Amino acid sequence: MLLIVVLIATSQVYAQSIDNPTVDQAMVEKIMKEGLENSHVMEYAGWLTDVYGPRLTNSPQLMRAQEYVMETLGDLGVEDVHLHKWGPFGTGWTLKRFAMHVNTPYAYFPVIAQPKAWSPGYESLQSGDAVYLKIDSPEDYEKYRGKLAGKFVLTEEPVKAEPSFTPIASRRDAANLLQLASATRMPARVGQGGGGPNAAFLARAQSAYEKAQFLVDEKPVAILDQSYRGWGGQVAVSGATLPADPSLGWGERPRPHQVDAPTAIPQISLAREHYGRIYRLLEKDIPVKIDMELEVEFQKDDLYGYNVIGDIKGTDAEVGDEVVMLGGHIDSWHTGTGATDNGAGTIIMMEAMRILKALGVEPRRTIRIGLWSGEEQGLHGSLQYVSEFFGSRGTNFGETGELELKPDYDKLSAYYNIDNGTGQARGIYLQENEQLRELFSMWLTPFREWDASTVSFQNTGGTDHLSYDRVGLPGFQFIQDAIEYSTFTHHSNMDVYERLVEQDLQRTAIIVATFVYHTAMLDQRLPRKGE
């Protein structure tokens, strides 16, 4: 058991000020004991990943997982557990059956591949020849026009394979943590004049649009590409795409889940090894026949998305209606079972709530869990929750309108997020809110033996804490060990239960629980940037 003696404010009801930060060491020790000796993280993991599996936004799998989480939180004694409705989002999508096989005059092999989400399916087995679409100039399209129907079309050259001597899994070393701790404001990026895209970008965008639109018009059986990351049978994949609409600007395109979107061509990502083999066979003028089963189901009955919300009610007469939030996104892509992205964050936040309820805490402020959907398609769930209750600059992340304050804007103290895989928390990003450095450093003091004491001025982007930060609210992401996240599991078929590290989940849940508890017990809410 880790025991570190620190300065403690002793009172019947623990409270502290931001100007004189302390640690409730007695509560920290209780949280650690409960989290290490009675952990439920792997139980939650098994249900969330093995049983309910991938949790694509608006899919039946996600709804079943949300029902499990709600029932579990309710059994723990969490109050007012409910679904927060947002949207509309669009259709759900479920993969019912998929298999791909290759036959040549010389050999047969099964293909490691994954369809992209929202690809349409077929009612029967599809068979056809593989063709590589080689376009070097606009004139090349005429060689293929009227000849791609019934074909499987490869669209790119294979990635060159080279030996890799970089480990798949890693932890942050002392040098990296020191770099984070010493970080200052990132310099502004220098533009390329005029603030808009340059000629080279526009030329590439135009070429990509022409190829995508040509394929839509030709209607092949499927468009094949290779995993955007990884070797060894790894297939990293997300959603199907539609041609960009030049009338909307090159950064805008319809999304296949939108109700009024055009129907996409089925799109399949192959393991790099298998994509390369097919490509090389075609280079040798060896015919390649592909058989594919692709059965999918679109869900159109309910086009709205849902977040899971639940409270441990605040007990203080003055600040009990103020809120401290913890959360992460519960949705995932469909290839693995969403274990590290972001089953880990969901499990950790459920465990943090379990620990606090098991200890019978009576926080001054309300502690609220938020498990978001639609994160993978653009932070939709958290963004729309924040826009409804706290503040809004528009309900799409790219919008930068004038801030509209909502009734609960002044009631939020902080939001804490986990969404960087299974790796242990090693500290926290300040999100450029330097006035919180001393406070957060103090709260991390009991975890120095876990090498979890780094406080960084910087921000890590790309996840739900940004929904809070963009409206001026304190939203934070913890610094985590990388483990295998960006090299192996992220958005891939390898994102499964076996890639979760139990000790890391336990420790991170403990650290999160202490941050949430201490924030809830402060005399004041956390200061916002610029206050």
Read off φ and ψ for residue 257, nearest 5 degrees.
Answer: -80, -15
Regarding whether 269 and 130 lie in a shared domain, the answer is yes
Cβ-contact 460, 429 below 8 angstroms: yes
Regarding whether 403 and 275 lie in a shared domain, the answer is no
pLDDT tens for the chain, 531 residues long, are 444 433 333 334 566 778 788 999 999 999 999 999 999 999 999 999 999 999 999 999 999 999 999 999 999 999 999 999 999 999 999 999 999 999 999 999 999 999 999 999 999 999 999 999 999 999 999 999 999 999 999 999 999 999 989 999 999 999 999 999 999 876 554 444 445 567 777 777 788 888 999 999 999 999 999 999 999 999 999 999 999 876 666 557 789 999 999 999 999 999 999 999 999 999 999 999 999 999 999 999 999 999 999 999 999 999 999 999 999 999 999 999 999 999 999 999 999 999 999 999 999 999 999 999 999 999 999 999 999 999 999 877 777 789 999 999 999 999 999 999 999 999 999 999 999 999 999 999 999 999 999 999 998 889 999 999 999 999 999 999 999 999 999 999 999 999 999 999 999 999 999 999 999 999 999 999 988
Q: Give the pLDDT score at 67.
A: 98
In a domain, 7, yes or no: no
Read off φ and ψ for residue 207, nearest 5 degrees.
Answer: -65, -45
- Whichever domain contains 264, its CATH number is 3.50.30.30
Cβ-contact 375, 58 below 8 angstroms: no
Regarding whether 387 and 441 lie in a shared domain, the answer is yes
Separation CA 489–CA 227 (nearest Å): 13
Regarding whether 53 and 149 lie in a shared domain, the answer is no
The owner of tokens 């709530």 is: 353
Beta bridge partners of 325: 368, 415
Regarding whether 317 and 397 lie in a shared domain, the answer is yes
Separation CA 449–CA 441 (nearest Å): 14
The owner of tokens 């050999």 is: 107
Q: Give the pLDDT score at 531.
A: 80
Regarding whether 74 and 145 lie in a shared domain, the answer is no
Separation CA 296–CA 294 (nearest Å): 6
Q: Which of 246, 265, 299 is the last residue of a domain?
A: 299
For 103-115, give the DSSP string. E-SS-EEE--EEE
Regarding whether 295 and 342 lie in a shared domain, the answer is no
Cβ-contact 399, 350 below 8 angstroms: no
Q: Which of 299, 319, 340 is the last residue of a domain?
A: 299
Q: Give the pLDDT score at 186.
A: 65
Residues in contact with 296: Cβ distance below 8 Å, sequence separation at least 6, in sequence order: 93, 94, 95, 96, 115, 119, 120, 121
Regarding whether 400 and 512 lie in a shared domain, the answer is yes
The owner of tokens 């996240």 is: 485
Regarding whether 55 and 108 lie in a shared domain, the answer is no
Q: Which of 265, 299, 333 is the last residue of a domain?
A: 299
Of the candidates 211, 256, 254, 221, the one whose C-alpha atom is nearest the C-alpha of residue 119 is 256
| Rama region for 280: left / alpha / beta (φ>0; ψ in -120 to 50; rest) | alpha
Cβ-contact 8, 26 below 8 angstroms: yes
What number of H helices and E strands is found in the chain? 12, 18
Total count of domains within the chain: 2
Regarding whether 210 and 84 lie in a shared domain, the answer is no
pTM of the complete model beyond 0.75: yes
- Residue 163 belongs to domain spanning: 92-182+199-299
Rg of the chain in Å (alpha carbons) = 25
Find how far residue 269's CA is from the centre of its chain.
20
- Whichever domain contains 467, its CATH number is 3.40.630.10
Of the candidates 383, 482, 382, the one whose C-alpha atom is nearest the C-alpha of residue 423 is 482
Sequence letter at residue 78: V
Separation CA 284–CA 268 (nearest Å): 23
